[in-house]
Amino acid sequence: MPINCNCPVCGSRNTKSLAIIFESGQRIGTSTRDSIWTISGALDLGRSTTKSNWASLLATNAAPPGKMNWSYIGWPLIAATVIFEWPLWVVPAVILPIALLYGASDDYLNAEDGTKWRKTFRCLRCGTTFEPFNQ
């Protein structure tokens, strides 16, 4: 029996999982453009290379929950102590409360979030996010 993925709010069948929306919105590529410009009668050959990581806004909104990474907090903190001449105890003073809040089990929590994210669908008509497997 197929899973009913219809939007629970508007009944639209135009729904996609967040993972599909996210992946289909990614553009990572290199574009090289050869161009011949005529500027005041002179011929100019130019080549421009553009590297772009591009994601649509829709895909960005459907991004998976980020993994808690201590280096994102730790390194800027350590840099701040150097730049602003803060005392070094600021680093544990900031990290310890965060560690207590999120707990040592943040990997487990993120795994839970990731599973939920993979199961979540979004209606492309009204924007509602829902979990069809739990209906």
Instruction: Using CA atoms of 22, 24, 27, 31 in order, give the dihedral in degrees to the nearest 10.
Output: 180
Q: How many residues does the chain have?
A: 135
Which residues in the 93-132 window bind Zn ion by CB under 5 A? 123, 125-126, 128
Residue 29 forms beta bridges with which residues?
A: 52
State the nearest-atom distance from the C-beta of 132 to Zn ion, in Å.
Answer: 12
State the nearest-atom distance from the C-beta of 9 to Zn ion, in Å.
Answer: 5
Span interacting with Zn ion, options 1-9, 20-28, 51-59, 98-106, rule CB under 5 A: 1-9
CA distance 4 to 35: 51
- Mask 7-46, x = binds Zn ion (CB under 5 A)? x-xx-x----------------------------------
Q: Which residues of 71-110 are buried (b: 16+ CB within 10 A; e: fewer)?
A: eeeeeebeeeeeeeeeeeeebeeeeeeeeeeeeeebeeeb
Q: Which two tokens stand for residue 63?
A: 């991004």
- Comparing CB distances to Zn ion, the nearer of 12 and 56 is 12
If binding means CB under 5 A, how many residues of this protein chain bind Zn ion?
8
- Comparing CB distances to Zn ion, the nearer of 16 and 125 is 125
Please provide residue 61's backbone torsions phi and psi, each rounded to the nearest 5 degrees: -70, -20
- Comparing CB distances to Zn ion, the nearer of 6 and 56 is 6
- Comparing CB distances to Zn ion, the nearer of 117 and 130 is 130
Binding positions for Zn ion, rule: CB under 5 A:
7, 9-10, 12, 123, 125-126, 128
